[in-house]
Amino acid sequence: MKAKFQCALCEFSSGWETIKRATKDEKLRIKAVIELFRFLADEFSDEAVPAWIGSKKDRLIREITGNPDPYMEVKAKDNERALKLLPLVRTAVNSKPEGYERFREACKVAVIGNAADPDILGHEYDVSSVISLLSHEDFAIDHIKNAYYLVQGKKVMIIADNAGEIAFDIILVEQLKKMGCKVVVAVKAKPILNDATIEDAFVVGMNEVADKLITTGSDVIGLFLNAVSGEFLAELELCDVIIAKGMGCYESITEQEIEKPVLILFKAKCDPVAEDVGVRRGDNVAVLIS
């Protein structure tokens, strides 16, 4: 997906929020925001992919402000909240009939967990509402039945998105394993926004559930094959199906040829992504690209 006019406002305002989180030094904030203007003047266009701009932008802000992880507190809080809810969520999912329905419910949990995203303009979230959302929300695009038959007994790679959300992904890993799958979970190699890193995976206990825990080898949002490590590519080569989480994955995967079936699970948190995939803002999406 290419950037739209509307993305300019979101790219800038989320960058501004990151600067605000990264430092309290007014002079440094001003310096960083001027560099942010210059970066966006050079990089923003309707040929650019938002997740790519966002990744480079966030890197620039971390460098200028000298704060390697502006979302550290947000991530810790979201992990903690999600962990507290996990037993309740697991019970809710396990109350569904085993098989397709339970897998679908686990996918729903994984998407509702994707709501946890600060600093997206006009998008508010509350991780604690996940239980009520589970019974009230459904998918606007639902390719889960196809995905269900596709993953049976296969090697699956989950590309994780945010901290907090990664706790809910445990439920999905558990279901996949019951279906005879081998599950590799990939997180970011370094902090970027509130995306889950190895630390977050350990905090929520993903390391104990996944068959393998790896990193993308990079701090880039979504999945850009030109930005990941050789080790990650080797793992990708070995897997049969990819389950990719979040809008960054949607934005990036729709611009590349990925030679594996990919189920992209996300909540459409902004108008440009919602319009691109053909749903309304706030809708839940499970779109299979194969």
Binding site for a copy of itself (CB under 8 A): 4-5, 8-9, 12-13, 16, 19-20, 26-27, 29-30, 33-35, 37-38, 40-41, 44-46
> 76 vs 121, which CB is nearer to a copy of itself?
121
Compute the C-alpha angle 61/62/67, nearest 5°: 130
> 34 vs 225, which CB is nearer to a copy of itself?
34
> 45 vs 290, which CB is nearer to a copy of itself?
45
Cα-flanking dihedrals φ and ψ of residue 267, to 5°?
-95, 130
Tell me how far CA of residue 115 lies from CA of 129, 190, 268, 270, in angstroms: 10, 22, 9, 11
In the complex, least distance from residue 52 CB atom to a copy of itself, rounded to whole angstroms: 16
| Close Cβ partners of 276 (under 8 Å, ≥ 6 residues apart) | 1, 250, 254
In the complex, least distance from residue 262 CB atom to a copy of itself, rounded to whole angstroms: 28
How would you write the chain as a 3-class SS string? CCCCHHHHHHHHHHHHHHHHHHCCCHHHHHHHHHHHHHHHHHHCCCCCCHHHHHHHHHHHHHHHHCCCCCCHHHHHHHHHHHHHHHHHHHHHHHCCCCCHHHHHHHHHHHHHHCCCCCCCCCCCCCHHHHHHHHHHCCEEEECHHHHHHHHCCCEEEEECCECCHHHHHHHHHHHHHHCCCEEEEEEECCCCCCECEHHHHHHHCHHHHCCEEEECCCCCCCCCCCCCCHHHHHHHHHCCEEEEECHHHHHHHCCCCCCCCEEEEEECCCHHHHHHHCCCCCCEEEEEEC
> 25 vs 208, which CB is nearer to a copy of itself?
25
> 29 vs 81, which CB is nearer to a copy of itself?
29
> 12 vs 100, which CB is nearer to a copy of itself?
12
> 37 vs 225, which CB is nearer to a copy of itself?
37
> 40 vs 93, which CB is nearer to a copy of itself?
40
